[in-house]
Structure 1
Amino acid sequence: MKYDLYVVTDETLSCGRSHAEIARLAVAGGADMVQLRDKVRSCSDLVRIGREIRAITRAAGAGFIVNDRLDVALSCCADGVHLGQGDMSCGVARQIAPPGFVIGVSVGSVAVARDAERDGADYVAVSPVFSTGSKYDAGPGHGLSLIREIRASVSIPVIAIGGIGLENAGEVIDAGADGIAVISAVIASPDITRAARQMADIIAERKAIGNNRRTPVP
């Protein structure tokens, strides 16, 4: 599973565009993963929307994650679920989920990241890296140092989210993030596809530079 550019949907920030339209435009711009995030819709609505997004991401070769709701994720054949600290625990979700099902966990400390890995998480999301208005409950930013500390403490992918845009995406990758999750930086743009492509290009460029630095000189 590739997590380089991980786009989170939110209809309140998308200038009237639906979750499915956000997904379609984001994968056209190179998003590797789409997360359906909606705190207010009913279960039946989320399943219906999730199935639309599943068809879009499958056709594009992208991954599909549902925020919070394991029941919805399983019902719409998503690749996985993303769990916050107030949601079902990763350990319980792992017992319920089928083999190969992806479970991501939001973390805000090294200890919590280690616990998530021990409980079977496939990736952790450091949230928020910088202060953000896209998630009202996110709290203050943890900064780049926590990315470095968590990257050195776990063996699973580390995703960064919160206050990340074109101006600071490169330094987030340089700090050790395996991927960047974005909300407003992409979906609030008048041109979601272009915004996604710009972000994907920055991530790819900075990863290439990092790989070159690690390659021994003959």
Structure 2
Amino acid sequence: MKITAISNLGLCGSKEALKEKISRLCEVGISEIILREKNLSVSEYCALFCEVLQICNHFGVRLFLHNFLDLAFDLEHKFIWLPLGVLQNFRQNSTRNLSEFEKIVISAHSTDEAGLALNLGANALCLSHIFPTDCKANLEPKGLDLIRNVREFWDGEIYALGGINSSNFHFAIESGADNIAIMSSAMTCENEKEFLENFL
């Protein structure tokens, strides 16, 4: 099982604090990092991504470029994590080839979205949100059935996201997820080593 941490600049307060947080997570053995800062401009994101990539490479941790697909092509970065809409727009408007990427994780919130993502070229899925979460307080969680239902037609890699903690993550794995992705608690934990050990 991979434990993937999703960045949140707002929760960290500054770019320097975010880089320090990512460095500490990498140091204690986080599996992967997603730099999910889609509120930045492309140029701002690129500058931050290149700095974070240095950190991740130092520790041998995989970094996903999020949202900015053209930038991923330009940087020749092989690992991307995209909203479904970005992939749909790309397929409608671009002649570039997704085969340049090694891993294409697409976020999906229903079985229909999951099927569409796979048809458009995803080779891994992020299903959310599984449990109640403050990030989506007004939205009903999709629940474990989303994982189970997608697993009926997809035997590839599934990440579970949304409200996942050390008490409930095993339910997501038992329902068919391969990995878990976590944002808020990863960004706000005071002790990164303890945070990670709670999932081992």
| Structure 1: unaligned runs, 5 residues or longer | 202-218
| Residue number in structure 2 paired with 1:103 | 104
Further displaced range: 101-110 or 12-21 = 12-21
| Residue number in structure 1 paired with 2:179 | 179
Q: Deviations over 1:52-74 (max 9, x none)?
A: 12122222222111221113334
Residue 18 of structure 1 aligns to a residue in which SS?
helix
Residue 154 of structure 1 aligns to a residue in which SS?
coil
How far off is 1:135 after superposition?
5.5
| Partners of 1:64 and 1:135 in 2: CA distance | 25
Change (3 A) 1:181 1:94: farther
How far off is 1:168 after superposition?
0.7
**In the alignment, residue 106 of structure 1 is paired with which amino acid?**
S
| Residue number in structure 2 paired with 1:37 | 36
How far off is 1:90 after superposition?
8.0
Q: Deviations over 1:145-177 (max 9, x none)?
A: 111111221122010000111111111111111
Residue 10 of structure 2 aligns to a residue in which SS?
coil
Change (3 A) 1:132 1:77: farther
- Indicate whether 1:154 and 2:158 are aligned: no
| Partners of 2:3 and 2:101 in 1: CA distance | 21
Kept in 1, the 8 Å contact 2:129–2:161? The answer is: yes
Q: Deviations over 1:169-206 (max 9, x none)?
A: 1111111110000001211111234313332x1xxxxx
| Residue number in structure 1 paired with 2:168 | 168
Alignment of 1:1-218 (within 5 A): 4-14=2-12, 18-89=17-88, 92=91, 95-97=96-98, 99-134=100-135, 139-199=139-199, 201=200
| Partners of 1:46 and 1:135 in 2: CA distance | 24
Change (3 A) 1:67 1:100: closer
| Partners of 2:61 and 2:189 in 1: CA distance | 21
Further displaced range: 68-77 or 99-108 = 68-77
| Partners of 2:47 and 2:99 in 1: CA distance | 21
| Partners of 1:40 and 1:59 in 2: CA distance | 26
| Partners of 2:74 and 2:139 in 1: CA distance | 31
Higher helix content, 1 or 2: 2
Change (3 A) 1:135 1:49: farther
| Partners of 1:76 and 1:18 in 2: CA distance | 24
| Partners of 1:167 and 1:12 in 2: CA distance | 25
Scaled by the length of structure 1, the TM-score of the pair is 0.79
Residue 89 of structure 1 aligns to a residue in which SS?
helix
Q: Percent identity?
A: 23
Kept in 1, the 8 Å contact 2:2–2:178? The answer is: yes
**In the alignment, residue 78 of structure 1 is paired with which amino acid?**
H
Scaled by the length of structure 2, the TM-score of the pair is 0.86
How far off is 1:130 after superposition?
1.4
Kept in 2, the 8 Å contact 1:123–1:157? The answer is: yes
| Structure 2: unaligned runs, 5 residues or longer | none
Between the two proteins, the alignment pairs up a number of residues equal to 197
Kept in 1, the 8 Å contact 2:84–2:117? The answer is: no
How far off is 1:140 after superposition?
2.4
